[in-house]
Each structure stands twice: as structure tokens, then as C-alpha cells.
Amino acid sequence: MLLPRPETAAGGEGEEENPRDALVRRLLEHQKFRAAAELLHEREQVRSAQWQRPDERVAALAGDEYEPEIEVDLFSLLSAFQAVVQRAMQRPKVLLPPEQLPVEVRISQLLSRLSETAACGFEELFADARDRPELIVTFLALLEMIRLRLVRVFQSGGFGPIRVYKRPRPADAPRLIGDPEAHRG
């Protein structure tokens, strides 16, 4: 740019475009396209994160029946809810008995049973359960005992019998929420 141009040396005064201006224009145009590409990329990412109902052609190819969406107004929703409430009032009331056996009590029962023998069969733990809630409480108690590292559970082979062994509580074992030993340490 500092050297004289051939036309100016010859005395011609033709106005030529400055190369800097052309470069600046090209850079600005490049920035516009780059910004547009970034915007399209962001929109594509948002769009790909959304689940949409397939249109009629895709559903026909997949074998699903196409069901167009229908908007529901507030009054339709209220009347549908009212019908649900009416049906719920007609159903007979089922009174569930309160939990008769807390998990903590069942844990102490199982631990005393395991203190009598070195090991116990899995199914033997459920022998004195009278009904389904007691079966569930017994299973939850066993899971809690495993979490507290009070027992070890082993199985001989892939389909062999499951045996439950009592073990001494490690010092770093978690404590049961109403455990009197939890406040000593």
C-alpha cells in the first residue's frame, strides 16, 4: 500500500477500492454467516431435545393410527374431574389396618432368631408371618439389616438356597434411626 501504484505514477486518477475495505466487508459478511450458523445450530439442539408427535405419514409407515391432538377447554376438564369425583364417591371404602409390626421390632425379632443358630434359610425368616403386610415388613427388615451390615446373605450356586448369617456389627456400620447404641459412640 505504501508503494506508488502504476496508474498514479502515470498520472491517471482512477479511484481504486482500498484492499482494507474489501477485507473488512468480507470479514463482516463472514461474521454474519457465522452468527446465523450458530443460531441455527442452537435451534437444532433445542429441537432435537424435544419429543414430538410424529406426523401422519410417519405414523402410517410405523403402523400406528394417527390421532390428531384436540385442545380441551377448562370447562371440559372440570366436568371430567367432576365425573371422576362422582365415581370415587360410589366406590366402597376400604379401611386398611394400621401397620401392626414396625420394621425396627421385626429387625430385633429376626436378630434374636439368628442369635440362636449360626445361619437361617431365607424362607425360614418368613415362617411366622401371618399375612401379606407381615411378609412385606419382614422383607423390609431383612433389607435394612443388610444395609446396617448386621447380616450376610449367601446363595450356593445360581439357583441354590439362600442362607442368612448374623455377623457382628462393624464399628463403621450405619445405625438404625432409634438405635440406643447410636448415641453411645
Question: Can you give the pLDDT at residue 184?
Answer: 46
| Contact of 166 with 114, CB cutoff 8 Å | yes
Question: Can you give the pLDDT at residue 60?
Answer: 64
What Rg value do the Cα atoms of the chain yield, rounded?
39
The DSSP output letter for 155 is: E
Question: Can you give the pLDDT at residue 142?
Answer: 87
Q: What burial class does residue 163 get, using C-beta atoms within 10 Å of its C-beta: 0-12 exposed, 13-18 middle, 19+ buried?
A: middle
pTM: 0.43
pLDDT string in tens for the chain (185-residue length): 677 776 655 554 555 667 788 889 999 999 999 999 999 988 888 887 776 665 666 666 666 565 555 555 567 666 677 777 787 788 787 776 665 778 888 888 888 888 888 788 888 888 887 777 888 888 888 888 888 888 888 877 766 778 888 887 767 766 666 554 544 44
Q: Rounded distance, CA 137 to CA 109, Å?
A: 12
Q: Rounded distance, CA 121 to CA 106, Å?
A: 17
The DSSP output letter for 158 is: S
| First vs last C-alpha separation in the chain | 85
Dihedral sign for Cα atoms in the order 128, 131, 136, 141 = negative
Residue that the C-alpha cell 445361619 belongs to: 119
What are the residue ranges of helices labelled H in the chain?
6-10, 19-48, 56-62, 74-90, 103-116, 132-147
Which of 138, 148, 143, 134 is CA-nearest to residue 177? 148
Question: Can you give the pLDDT at residue 167?
Answer: 82
